Amino acid sequence: MSEREAQHEPRSPNGRRSGVRTILVVGPHPDDAELGIGGTILTLAAAGHTVHLLDMTNGEPTPKGSLERRAKESARAAEILGVASRTTLDLPNRYVMDTIEARTKVAEAIRKIKPDLMLVPYWVDAHPDHVATSHICDAARFQAKLTKTDMAGEPWYPAKILYYHCSHLRIAFPASLIVDVSAQWGRKIDAAKSYASQFDVDGEYPVIDLITRYAAYFGALICAEYGEPLLSREPIGVTDIRDII
Amino acid sequence: MSEREAQHEPRSPNGRRSGVRTILVVGPHPDDAELGIGGTILTLAAAGHTVHLLDMTNGEPTPKGSLERRAKESARAAEILGVASRTTLDLPNRYVMDTIEARTKVAEAIRKIKPDLMLVPYWVDAHPDHVATSHICDAARFQAKLTKTDMAGEPWYPAKILYYHCSHLRIAFPASLIVDVSAQWGRKIDAAKSYASQFDVDGEYPVIDLITRYAAYFGALICAEYGEPLLSREPIGVTDIRDII
Amino acid sequence: MSEREAQHEPRSPNGRRSGVRTILVVGPHPDDAELGIGGTILTLAAAGHTVHLLDMTNGEPTPKGSLERRAKESARAAEILGVASRTTLDLPNRYVMDTIEARTKVAEAIRKIKPDLMLVPYWVDAHPDHVATSHICDAARFQAKLTKTDMAGEPWYPAKILYYHCSHLRIAFPASLIVDVSAQWGRKIDAAKSYASQFDVDGEYPVIDLITRYAAYFGALICAEYGEPLLSREPIGVTDIRDII
Amino acid sequence: MSEREAQHEPRSPNGRRSGVRTILVVGPHPDDAELGIGGTILTLAAAGHTVHLLDMTNGEPTPKGSLERRAKESARAAEILGVASRTTLDLPNRYVMDTIEARTKVAEAIRKIKPDLMLVPYWVDAHPDHVATSHICDAARFQAKLTKTDMAGEPWYPAKILYYHCSHLRIAFPASLIVDVSAQWGRKIDAAKSYASQFDVDGEYPVIDLITRYAAYFGALICAEYGEPLLSREPIGVTDIRDII
Amino acid sequence: MSEREAQHEPRSPNGRRSGVRTILVVGPHPDDAELGIGGTILTLAAAGHTVHLLDMTNGEPTPKGSLERRAKESARAAEILGVASRTTLDLPNRYVMDTIEARTKVAEAIRKIKPDLMLVPYWVDAHPDHVATSHICDAARFQAKLTKTDMAGEPWYPAKILYYHCSHLRIAFPASLIVDVSAQWGRKIDAAKSYASQFDVDGEYPVIDLITRYAAYFGALICAEYGEPLLSREPIGVTDIRDII
Amino acid sequence: MSEREAQHEPRSPNGRRSGVRTILVVGPHPDDAELGIGGTILTLAAAGHTVHLLDMTNGEPTPKGSLERRAKESARAAEILGVASRTTLDLPNRYVMDTIEARTKVAEAIRKIKPDLMLVPYWVDAHPDHVATSHICDAARFQAKLTKTDMAGEPWYPAKILYYHCSHLRIAFPASLIVDVSAQWGRKIDAAKSYASQFDVDGEYPVIDLITRYAAYFGALICAEYGEPLLSREPIGVTDIRDII
């Protein structure tokens, strides 16, 4: 065991209870965060938190996409989501692997953004890029706090990491929490529809039908119109019940 | 399926988001709620919520207790916890069974107190009174919303029910949430120590050592000094992440 | 252990592989089976199986129901579902308890109908009648095969029992199987809407919105329009993969 | 919470580490303990422990049994198993229910036998007598330690309770431990075959084929010839690894 | 998220309900598929489906094997199983790693064979080649549907993937389904015995004793002579109950 | 499947029942084994077993450590623990990856030490070196039994592998067993405190407070002062109940 102390230092200068947090959302490709937790991003931004987006790859090639088109779509989506920044790493689409190099890129982003909370893909998924992204984020969260390295930035340890469901695998997602995103659902769909190159099938958006079903179900479980589930491996601590439905 | 509509009416006049809630804590015997979630009761009361206590039995006979002594102890504990009311039902200590009669007593208490949230014992326990109390509370929560009955009071459906760990069975409790009770731990111990007839063994309080170990562990899992775990069968919904550690 | 042999005799004269089965669906109140597995009932009936319905109670009183109205509604629903028979036991609505008497009533129905498969409510539920029905059915399935009793009928042991989700508790139902009910969804909704006394809220049917969300989600998990989940405690055996989506 | 102290007194005079223990095995009917953990009983007896058997009912009527025949069979089986005593309670076969009266009968047996360990049926089972027996034993274990009662005997709290698999329900039993019973398998089968009235089907013993398959599987999981699984709800503590395969 | 549409196109030209399917079984080494699901392969082939075998490595070196001998054994086993083809990739025995190169080899096999269903090793195993094969297959299933690549063949997405138990790790396998392989057990053993270089220990076949115990147990759980368990991460959908035991 | 026979040969010359075992404890960095299972090491050594320690890396750099200082600390800790040997591999601290090369180093250590039991880190952890170490150990355990290789030493297969909790991730550890380490707790803390470069924060040892809370909790679950949990993926077999608390 090394690097122990870092973990015991104050983890988030914002403080745990003061309120406003910095959140880093990691998506394998531009559009994954939108589909998986676009409503959560909007809900947290509306509550005053600062949300940053990090894409592992530019997402291309795809059947109908191009680098230029995808970049425009993802910029438009970021605007709708109201995020503070969107960064795209240069990892290879379709071939993201859990390497030291990939971890270091994410760790440096963490040291720059200094998030209190990371929202990253669930490690069980049909798409290998999603699986790798999940593992890379776990490792990078730890690596970001190292001292005596040649990584850019100062040591930082995000206090919490939660996993979201990317919709490729049709599993019953094991939710620890469900975020009520009813008030933001319309904007989430707008953000998702920015990716016409990915989702528009002759004017239909089958994947948006799919995520709407998911959200209507998880919403029903918390007596809300729409909900997005999150998984935590560490237990969820609370200081009050005010925000719990 | 009957009594459907009632469930779809606004469930808590206080509203889900306005903030202040009414909470009903049910204990099999006077002292169980104190040991299990005394810190949670104090934390919620300190946050401005209204907490009511309901004991299923007077808890006697016990080796060193008496009706008068136990009643005084439980009144003292209620005072320390700062609860709005404490009611003791006349169910038979040691022989609490899940009957219509027992359910009706709890349902009538629910209709009177009109809680938004119920905190009740976990259904896996070594003490049969605890197991029965858990089942009675589940049934009474539903029964309380019935119309066309001769129960006292108006229909009411507590929006949420959570289960707490009574410390008899040495299981690894499956926490959905852990409440940070660090700031209230001292008062919780005071409340528990009110029950000298139950816990004082020649000046030692072995059960208090036990629950302190539990709370120090669950606290550690959320980076807090002390924590008390709660279990939900329905997923936990959130509207913000502010209260989540 | 008693009554062993009975269990080892041929359990279903129809045979396991010949095809056509007799199915007994048990609902606590008239409308529960419709909401929970109306689509499954219709799908199985359309596939040539014989389905019988057994209600534990007449479901009354309810806020807007009456004995006559409910009976008419449930007869209409049975007609839409195309079941071979619908029987209503005289257990007390709201106060169904797991007693020998209740078990015997269900066991005698089993001995009369001789089902290969029972579909009964899941034992985790907010409504105590549903919980009790689940336990009664488990016990009655066994009791039905007893010899040397004064129960009506001949010994019978339903080869399989599966549990369905009644929609009161907002749990993530632990599905072992999901039945593709897409082709029958419209008729299921018709059957559910027969119960205007239960579900019609000023022309709206909130509970139907709820079950539609559930079915759209479980359908999505199997790449179908609508799905209804079933739980088995015993592993699911298959002889081919033809019917598995 | 009542009766606390009793739980904190030395629980087993034999001591936890000295070695020899007293074990109480509870079976719903004469033959259940034999089928479920006959090998474990023999293995523990061979290791020098004292094992007592308690049947909840006499097991009759059954298709081919009679009171006399069954009593003779169970006496013969007890002899083969080498148990210190076998007691049969007078609860009604087929209709065992979890009542105060039933709990008291078992609690009084516990106060008389003073076991360190109880082995009782798993609470998930097809036979309602088995389910009830499991719940009765949980409650009786606690009730046995009460003071100020009119129960016979002195307070006693069995330090540990483990659950065994009765073979009616074809579930994948969730084993916490598997006992290597290879050396005693032959005698176990002899004990089971004592119950010709129950298991002999024209000279064949189908249930013995079934339990042999189970034991061969659980044995394989621990690299032994035959094994019998046990479930604990409380974690398993060890002081050495010598006895762990 | 990329490559979305492909997933929403018709996934299997054979159609989901017409009946006959194409199945790809992947084994780490020649003999793993035989031991793990030889009975399932035979049962599916007997039902008219087309089964293809893909081995990741030639399986050599082993203590008593040679390249020539193993190849002959595996050809003989394929003949007994009645598979449509058997292909052996040139990945290094003992050192199979989850690399892009390995994924591409399997993805190209998928694009050639166009299976509706993949049967692959469970990812929890003692043998690192098995663990890696499981991960490679998950990734390759996705990679096979990519467009704009230089992989051989046309895009293809197998509609379903199920995991089977290789017998190295003595875990209680978490079965979603159990296939009744009773009618094919003899032939399965013949196929396994083809590998005398692997399993013959002085005329004894200890591993065949082991898998027979497993199959007799899983068979017992579905009231069949022999059964082989399969795990699905996505829920199992059904359109009828005819094929469910 | 290859290398089958080796698995079926006698796995531990010491024999499973004779008593004394050889145990190999693997830690990612010097100090992890001490924190995670220092008490277990001491307890097993005190019971007469032979314990060897293997560190994957030298653990440096760290904020306040140096190669010389860390080496001295780990030698001192080994002395306190009373282990038979301590070996440090030259894998890169912070960047341990699951490669053939790393597996081979551990496999050769296994072939040299010939352990009956391996105690290795749990695969769910915040530190990527811990995750990698867990996977490397699983693979190396298998690789160590290979014949026809150029690895040093003779084939060996450790009969059992158990996983311990490194304290970085604040998960509720899924214990299969808890070792009563009460008698050795003081020495364990001494061993941990050897690592002043890692744990001393101005004279305080926050990580020791953390692991003490864990141990007090897991101890409470088995009615002991202190306990350390272990996880097994294969079921736990027992031949007696003498060592089970």
Higher pLDDT, A9 or B148: B148
Cis peptide bond prior to A61, omega within 30° of 0? yes
Q: Provide the pLDDT for residue E241.
A: 84
C243: closest CA of chain E, how far (Å): 5
In which element (H, E) is residue C93 found? none
Closest to C119 in 3D by CA, of C227, C236, C21, C24 = C24
The parts of chain D modelled with pLDDT lower than 50 are: 1-2, 5-17
- Strand F177-180 with D237-238, pairing: parallel
Question: E160 at the F interface (CB within 8 A)?
Answer: no
DSSP for B138-207, please give it. Answer: HHHHHHTT-SSS--SS-----SEEEEE--TTS------SEEEE-GGGHHHHHHHHHT-HHHH-BTTB-HH
What is the pLDDT, as a whole number, of residue B10? 38
Mean pLDDT over residues A22-47, rounded?
A: 97
Q: What residues of B are in contact with residue F219 (Cβ under 8 Å)?
A: 213
The C-alpha atoms of residue C222 and residue E235 are separated, in whole angstroms, by 7
pLDDT of residue D244: 77
Q: What does the block give as tokens for F203? A: 């004279």
Q: Does residue A67 belong to the interface with chain E, where contact is any CB pair within 8 Å?
A: no
F90-102 residue pLDDT tens? 999 999 999 999 9
Q: How many contacts (CB atoms, under 8 Å) link C and E?
A: 121
**Distance in angstroms (rounded) separating the CA atoms of residues F189 and F35:** 8
Tell me which residue has tokens 């809300």: A224
Q: Residue E123 above 70 pLDDT?
A: yes
CB contact C115 to B (< 8 Å): no
Please tell me which residue of chain C has the smallest CA distance to E15: C245
According to DSSP H, which parts of E53-200 are helical? Answer: 67-81, 100-113, 128-143, 185-193, 196-199
Task: Give the residue from chain D lying closest to B201, CA to CA.
Answer: D5
Could you tell me the CA-to-CA distances from D71 to D58, D76, D102, D196, D200 in Å, in that order? 7, 9, 21, 12, 16
Rounded average pLDDT over A45-56? 97
How far apart, in whole angstroms, are the C-alpha atoms of residue D155 and residue D137?
16
pLDDT score at B245 = 67
Confidence class for position F245, pLDDT limits 50, 70, 90: low
Task: Give the H/E segment covering residue F80.
Answer: helix F67-81
- B to D CB pairs, distance under 8 Å: 69
CA geometry: angle at D105 spanning D104 and D109, to 5°? Answer: 110
Taking the Cβ of residue D204 and every Cβ of chain F, the question of whether any pair is shorter than 8 Å is answered with no
Chain D residue numbers with beta carbons less than 8 Å from the beta carbon of F224 are 237
Report d(CA E37, CA E23) in Å as an integer: 13
Instruction: Tell if the CB–CB gap between C171 and A221 is shorter than 8 Å.
Output: yes
CA closest to F59 among chain A residues: A2
- Give D-chain residues touching B171 at CB under 8 angstroms: 233-235
Measured between beta carbons, which residues in chain C are less than 8 angstroms from residue B2?
A: 29, 31, 59-60, 62, 65, 93-94, 198
F126 interfaces chain B, CB cutoff of 8 Å = no
Phi-psi label, residue B166: left if phi above 0, alpha if psi -120 to 50, beta otherwise: beta
Query: How many beta-carbon pairs below 8 A join chains C and D?
Result: 70
Contact E107, E144 (CB under 8 A): yes
Q: Which of residues 180-199 of F touch D (CB under 8 A)?
A: 180
Structure tokens at C58: 């007449």
Q: Closest to D214 (Cβ–Cβ): which among E170, E172, E220?
A: E220
The beta-carbon neighbor of B180 closest among A43, A179, A237 is: A237
Dihedral sign for Cα B12, B13, B16, B20, please.
Answer: negative
pTM score of the predicted model: 0.95
Q: Is E225 exposed, middle or buried (0-12, 13-18, 19+ CB in 10 A)?
A: middle
Residue with tokens 């989700």: C165
- Cβ–Cβ gap A214/C223 under 8 Å: no
Of E2, E6, E234, the CB nearest to A169: E234
Q: Is chain A in touch with chain C: ≥3 Cβ pairs within 8 A? A: yes
D103 contacts on B by Cβ (under 8 Å): 128
pLDDT values of chain B reduced to their tens digit, one per residue, 245 residues: 445 544 434 344 444 445 789 999 999 999 999 999 999 999 999 999 999 999 999 999 999 999 999 999 999 999 999 999 999 999 999 999 999 999 999 999 999 999 999 999 999 999 999 999 999 999 999 999 999 999 999 999 999 999 999 978 999 999 999 999 999 999 999 999 999 999 999 999 999 999 999 999 999 999 999 999 999 999 999 988 886 76
Q: Which of A96, A133, A142, A109 is nearest to F94 (CA)?
A: A142
What would the pLDDT profile of A207-237 be if each residue is shown by its tens digit? 999 999 999 999 999 999 999 999 999 999 9
User: What tokens does B210 get?
Assistant: 């036990």
Q: Where are the beta strands (DSSP E) in chain F?
A: 22-27, 50-55, 85-88, 117-121, 160-164, 177-180, 227-231, 236-238
Q: What is the pLDDT of residues F113-146, one digit of tens each?
A: 999 999 999 999 999 999 999 999 999 999 999 9
| Cβ-based burial of E201 (10 A; exposed 0-12, middle 13-18, buried ≥19) | middle
| Percent of chain A scoring above 90 in pLDDT | 87
Q: Give the one of C49, C235, C243 whose C-beta lies nearest to E221's C-beta.
A: C235
**Nearest by CB: D147 against B59, B63, B172:** B63
* pLDDT tens profile C130-177: 999 999 999 999 999 999 999 999 999 999 999 999 978 999 999 999
The predicted-structure confidence for B205-233, as pLDDT tens digits, reads as follows 999 999 999 999 999 999 999 999 999 99
Residue C227 has φ and ψ, to the nearest 5°, of: -140, 150
Classified as helix, coil or strand, F186 is helix
End-to-end Cα separation, chain E, in angstroms: 39
* The pLDDT value given to residue C149: 95
Please indicate if any CB of chain D lies within 8 Å of the CB of E172. Answer: yes
Q: Check E243 against C245: CB less than 8 A apart.
A: no
Q: What is the pLDDT of residues E78-105, one digit of tens each?
A: 999 999 999 999 999 999 999 999 999 9
Find out whether B116 and B12 touch, Cβ atoms under 8 Å.
Answer: yes
Structure tokens, A30: 């531009």
| pLDDT, position E16 | 46
Backbone φ and ψ for B40, nearest 5 degrees, come out as: -65, -45
State ipTM: 0.93
- Please give, one letter per residue, the 3-state secondary structure of E43-75: HHHHCCCEEEEEECCCCCCCCCCCHHHHHHHHH
Above 80 in pLDDT, residue A241?
A: yes
Whose structure tokens read 């299969």?
Answer: F176
Cα separation, A232 vs A238, whole angstroms: 13
Identify whether F61 is preceded by a cis peptide bond (ω within 30 of 0).
yes
Lowest-confidence region among A10-14, A101-105, F212-216:
A10-14
Chain A interface includes C217 (CB < 8 A): yes
Residue D92 DSSP label: P
All residues of chain B having their beta carbon less than 8 Å from the beta carbon of residue C31 are 1-2
Q: Cβ B19–A242 below 8 Å, yes or no?
A: yes
pLDDT tens digits, A128-141 = 999 999 999 999 99
Q: For chain C (length 245 residues), average pLDDT per consecutive 10?
A: 44 52 97 98 96 97 95 98 98 98 98 97 97 98 96 96 92 96 98 96 93 97 97 93 75
Decide: residue F63, CB within 10 A, 0-12 exposed, 13-18 middle, 19+ buried: middle
Q: Which of F1, F147, F235 sits opposite E63 (nearest CB)?
A: F147
- In chain A, which residue's Cα lies nearest the Cα of E157? A126
Structure tokens at F52: 């060897």
Provide the pLDDT for residue C10: 38
Q: Give the pLDDT score at E18.
A: 55
Tell me the pLDDT band of A118, cut-offs 50, 70 and 90: very high
Please choose, from the candidates F131, F158, F134, the residue with its C-alpha nearest in 3D space to the C-alpha of residue F144. Answer: F158
Contact F103 E28 (CB under 8 A): no
Which residue(s) pair with C162 in the sheet? Answer: C119
Minimum-distance CB partner of F4 among E169, E172, E198: E198
Q: Which residue from D207, D105, D145, D126 is spatially nearest to D5, judged by alpha carbons?
A: D145
| Chain-chain contact of A179 with B238 (C-beta, under 8 angstroms) | yes
Minimum Cα–Cα distance from E34: chain F residue:
F1
Tokens of F171: 């998960």
Inter-residue contact C39 to C51 (CB < 8 Å): no
Q: Strand A227-231 to strand A160-164: parallel, antiparallel, or no bridges (unpaired)?
A: antiparallel
At D12 the pLDDT is 44
Distance (Å, whole) CA B35 – CA B167? 8
To the nearest whole angstrom, how far is the Cα of C66 from the nearest Cα of chain B?
11
